[in-house]
């Protein structure tokens, strides 16, 4: 009986050590990683009320806000860049990499350059306001939301975006991705502009304008 005591203790020790190592791996796996880094800053910008500086990190769930005459450009983990214009505010609602990324523009203007993923058949990025949503795969666009008149508008510099009205900003990425696949979604091509029409309750047909980058 005594012969089996030492091996049994050794087995229990090894099992406990394995459990500790597994728990440590879980902690590492659950580590919250940044989804973007500030690469340009003019004036004052904030992340959840805290001042941003060059090389500051931003995370999923963060609210990014700029003051008057201020601009911040963020390099995202999927090689996209998002520029937040003066007196603007956005929430990084969901950002995981190449697919299923969702930004909520609360007010003002943002510009995004998104690289195309040829293997991706979905919208790699969706941006929404209170009244409209747009989906992109690979493009360069500017999205604006005016809180006073509730007009959302998009100007496409490169590529194409899908643009449609929505009834609420509470929709998730999957809800909006499904909605953007419907026939009522307009494609806004390079050099085109479109906005939601509050009088008719629809999206204006995209029109060609002169684009100065």
Find the CATH number of the domain harbouring 177.
2.60.120.1440
Q: What residues contact residue 148 under an 8 Å CB cut-off, 6+ apart?
A: none
**Domain boundaries, position 139:** 36-208
- 22 shares a domain with 99: no
- 49 shares a domain with 92: yes
SS3 content of the chain, % helix, strand, coil (to 5): 15, 45, 40
* Mean pLDDT value of segment 150-171: 94
Work out the pLDDT band at 119, boundaries 50, 70, 90. Answer: low
Work out the pLDDT band at 137, boundaries 50, 70, 90. Answer: confident
What is the domain count for the chain? 2
- Residue 210: name the closest of 190, 195, 188, 185 by CA: 190
91: in domain: yes
**Mean per-residue pLDDT over the chain, rounded:** 86
213: in domain: no
- 99 shares a domain with 14: no
- 61 shares a domain with 6: no
Helix (H) or strand (E) holding 10: helix 5-29
- 183 shares a domain with 79: yes
């Amino acid at each position: 009986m005594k012969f089996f005591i030492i091996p049994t203790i050794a087995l229990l020790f090894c099992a406990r050590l394995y459990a500790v190592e597994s728990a440590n791996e879980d902690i590492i796996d659950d580590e919250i990683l940044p989804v973007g880094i500030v690469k340009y800053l003019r004036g004052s910008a904030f992340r959840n009320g805290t001042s941003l500086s060059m090389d500051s990190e931003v995370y999923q769930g963060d609210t990014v806000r700029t003051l008057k005459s201020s601009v911040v450009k963020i390099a995202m983990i999927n090689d996209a860049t998002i520029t937040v214009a003066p007196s603007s505010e956005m929430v990084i609602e969901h950002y995981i990499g190449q697919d299923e990324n969702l930004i909520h523009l609360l007010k003002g203007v943002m510009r995004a350059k998104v690289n195309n993923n040829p293997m991706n058949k979905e919208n790699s990025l969706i941006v929404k306001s209170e009244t409209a949503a747009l989906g992109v795969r690979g493009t360069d666009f500017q999205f604006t939301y005016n809180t006073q008149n509730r007009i959302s508008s998009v100007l496409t510099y490169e590529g194409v975006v899908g643009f449609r009205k929505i009834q609420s900003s509470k929709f998730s990425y999957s809800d909006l991705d499904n909605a953007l696949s419907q026939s009522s979604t307009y494609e806004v091509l390079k050099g085109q502009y479109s906005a939601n029409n509050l009088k008719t309750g629809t999206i204006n047909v995209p029109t060609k304008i002169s684009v100065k980058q």
